Amino acid sequence: MPDTWIKLRDDLDTDPRVACMATMLATTAVTYVLPAEVRDLFATVTKAVTRNAMRDITLAGLTRVWSHACRHTTDGIFRHVDLSYLDDLARIPGFGLAMQTVGWAVHHPESDSIILPNFTEHNAPDKNGARAQTANARRQARYREAQKAKAAAQASPPPVNDVNPVNTVTSDRPEVTSRVTQREKENNVTSSLSSSSSISEDSEREGESRGETEPVSEFDQLEGMKAKINALSPRWKKFPRWNDAEEHVLRPNLSNLLKAEEQDFAMIAYWLRWAASPANTNAKDPVTVTASRSAIAERFPDYLERATRHWKQTGCPKLNPDGTKVTTVTPKVPKPEPPPVITAGSANFTAALKAFGADLPPKPAAVATKPAAA
């Protein structure tokens, strides 16, 4: 498991919220901290050591809670737990209630979860952990390690034999022996270079045959996620460039957004399209949706939950990637023409035969007759 670390401000011990938590813990953690009584020359100072030590105890508890949040979450949210879970992490009774009092923790009983507000602004939960990697990334890492081991095993020099035919040949001329030895070294270097190049070519060819590619860089992932979020709203497409503040929010939440599926983005686009439509804005009690690119990137699970609820209420329609409904066009079948009605009369009978495709005999040519002589 890789080493992780968190950032702590150097003036955290003088933060008023720490002092407030220390005061609360002095009453709720009496079994954890033993009061001490100090006597001086003039008077008796009671619980002086406990009051001063509670600040350091509070800092230690905060460090434990935030460290476990970096290790066990990907977005700073503890799910399926209550405030007593923070007491267990900090090992101090009443610590969760104290964190919620100063605003460093929010407990949602309806979802049975604990949210650490703005936790991802200064921390990268599970940035290098196995849960933040996709299956393809882990497979590629294993493949690269196997290729490195294979190349190192094959590129190692062959074992030296006890009997070297070149060295057994003696000559009275030392320059001949040195020349042969130099030629042998050059041949060994050439053969090792050719073997290493063939190994690299074989590894590249094997990787191509397996269909494995190099992992996508962080810059490409950021640009791809920007395009996905821009496609959620027509007005965002007109301004595809993100400012520095928006990118600052997108970077720490990129790992969570990459885990979302295409259907998730389609449902959010469908919900935003409905929220901006006259069906919602002209309603008696319209739903207020304050959405921006920064808000989508930072609170993507909340927007996805609301979009999913609306999608189920509308009958779970099939959606296109841009949030529009999938419409199936039924081809029109031409109606068959009614058969012609056969009626009496030679002209109607001939027309009916032509309609059915019957071959009619050619009409005989008229023969001119001369008038009879008077």
pTM above 0.85, yes or no: no
C-alpha span between 331 and 353 (Å, rounded): 33
pLDDT of 309: 87
Domain boundaries, the chain: 12-121, 242-334
118 secondary structure, DSSP code? T
343 secondary structure, DSSP code? -
pLDDT of 324: 84
Q: 58 Cβ partners below 8 Å, 6+ apart? A: 18, 21, 22, 25, 98
Average pLDDT, integer, range 58-65 = 91
Q: Cβ distance 304 to 264 under 8 Å?
A: yes
pLDDT of 312: 87
What does residue 79 show for φ and ψ, rounded to 5 degrees?
-105, 150
Q: Cβ distance 325 to 319 under 8 Å?
A: yes
Question: 97-140, pLDDT tens digit by residue?
Answer: 999 999 999 999 888 899 998 888 777 776 545 555 555 666 77
Question: 320-335, pLDDT tens digit by residue?
Answer: 888 888 876 667 777 7
Q: 254 Cβ partners below 8 Å, 6+ apart? A: 218, 221, 222, 225
pLDDT of 165: 46
| Residue-wise burial string across 179-215, b where 16 or more C-beta atoms lie within 10 A, e elsewhere | eeeeeeeeeeeeeeeeeeeebeeebeeebeeeeeeee
Average pLDDT, integer, range 160-187 = 50
pLDDT of 167: 46
